[in-house]
Amino acid sequence: MAFHSGFVCILGLPNAGKSTLLNALVGEKLAIISPKPQTTRNRILGVINSGGGKRKPKGQVILIDTPGVHTPDSSLGRKMMSEVRDALEGSHLILLIVDVAARHNPVDPLVLDVVTKAKTPAFLLLNKIDLLRGNKEKLLPLMERFREAHSFRQTIPISARKREGLDLLLGKIIEALPEGPHYFDSDQLTDQPLRFMVAEAIREQIMFATSEELPYTTSVVVEEFKEEPRLTRIAAVIYCEREGQKRILVGKGGSMLKKIGTAARLQIEKMVDTKVYLELFVKVVPNWRDSGHFVDELDWRSQLNRLAGKGS
């Protein structure tokens, strides 16, 4: 049987469940997840190898999770939207994922505009059907409105969190992809460097432990990453924008930083398979989200480019 492969871009509003879908399909936690919008800031690549079998076609799917489509109001926001455009470029298929239980209108003109302009075949994924509790007829008017807005190749109800409908989805994705090569070795699941995944694990705990603007005004950079036989020593800096935010992040007697550090360390230990010694520092960089230079420094892809002497 022919081998199908290609790049598949997951697209949608903030909080639709894009990162949850990536992790569920790949079967590994590659992207951090939170109930707060704008958790994902970079495009994240995950590789699925489908072994085939009697009915399933054989193939390799390269999924790309993206930041939520939104109208940017800072350098960070513009960078996030440029990650969305980079992910779309050269992709063979778009998965537009919508939250069927959302209070906002899921038929969003901004997202539909991105899909239409991309001129790439698209599937519509109606996510979070577990929240409808059997009232699946509620989906019909929604499907009708999407049908009027765009011609989707497939419309598939799923629950990314409960892993419902995902086998069917994967089969349809592979069918829709062209015949192609193995783009990645079958043991490679992502292109993300471990250091970046560590920084993301810390940021995820900040998103859980803090409220109001703090989840959006912090970023994390791993400054030291030393692998010893039984211990990994990591030092990371949490950047925020104001002294008041730093006080909250540190907490009374360092209590908040300790809480974030302990939770992050447990996650990181699962990733590196050794004990972890994690040191966290908090630094203030006023309005870093509006600094194009600082935002670019955070991006591991541009960091790698600079190291390779390609400039940015």
Contact set with ligand GDP (CB under 6 A)? 12, 14-20, 33-35, 39-40, 68, 127-128, 130-131, 159-162
Closest approach of ligand GDP to the CB of residue 213, in Å: 18
DSSP letters for 48-64: EEE---SSSPPEEEEEE
Distances (CA, A) of 217 to 40, 139, 254: 13, 36, 19
- Residue 210 interacting entry, from Mg ion, ligand GDP, none, C-beta within 5 to 8 Å by type: none
Residue choice 7, 11, 19, 160 for contact with Mg ion (CB under 5 A): 19
- Residue 130 interacting entry, from ligand GDP, Mg ion, none, C-beta within 5 to 8 Å by type: ligand GDP
**Positions in 38-57 near Mg ion (CB under 5 A):** 39-40
Other beta carbons within 10 angstroms of residue 253's beta carbon come to: 8
Report d(CA 63, CA 47) in Å as an integer. 6
- Residue 16 interacting entry, from Mg ion, ligand GDP, none, C-beta within 5 to 8 Å by type: ligand GDP
**Positions in 127-146 near Mg ion (CB under 5 A):** none
254 dihedral zone (left: phi>0; alpha: psi -120 to 50; beta):
left
Select 37 or 171, whichever has its Cβ closest to ligand GDP: 37
163 dihedral zone (left: phi>0; alpha: psi -120 to 50; beta):
left
Closest approach of ligand GDP to the CB of residue 23, in Å: 8
Select 155 or 303, whichever has its Cβ closest to ligand GDP: 155
Select 136 or 162, whichever has its Cβ closest to ligand GDP: 162
Closest approach of Mg ion to the CB of residue 306, in Å: 26
Closest approach of ligand GDP to the CB of residue 30, in Å: 11
Alpha carbon 150 to its chain's center: 25
HSE (side-chain half, CA atoms, 13 Å) at 158: 28
Q: Does 210 bind Mg ion (CB under 5 A)?
A: no
Report d(CA 248, CA 132) in Å as an integer. 38
- Best CA proximity match to 64, nearest among 86, 80, 81: 86
- Residue 284 interacting entry, from Mg ion, ligand GDP, none, C-beta within 5 to 8 Å by type: none
**Cα angle vertex 194, ends 188, 195, to 5°?**
155
Report d(CA 179, CA 5) in Å as an integer. 6
Question: For residue 34, which amino acid is it?
Answer: S
Closest approach of ligand GDP to the CB of residue 99, in Å: 7
Closest approach of ligand GDP to the CB of residue 17, in Å: 3
Select 4 or 29, whichever has its Cβ closest to Mg ion: 29
Select 40 or 120, whichever has its Cβ closest to Mg ion: 40
Sheet strand arrangement including 275-284: 219-227, 231-240, 275-284
Q: Which residue is nearest to ligand GDP (CB)?
A: 17
- Residue 161 interacting entry, from Mg ion, ligand GDP, none, C-beta within 5 to 8 Å by type: ligand GDP
Q: Does 23 bind Mg ion (CB under 5 A)?
A: no
Closest approach of ligand GDP to the CB of residue 252, in Å: 28
Report d(CA 260, CA 277) in Å as an integer. 13
Instruction: Name residue, tokens 């901004």.
Output: 110
Closest approach of ligand GDP to the CB of residue 151, in Å: 23
Select 48 or 278, whichever has its Cβ closest to ligand GDP: 48
Which residues bind to Mg ion, rule: CB under 5 A? 18-19, 39-40
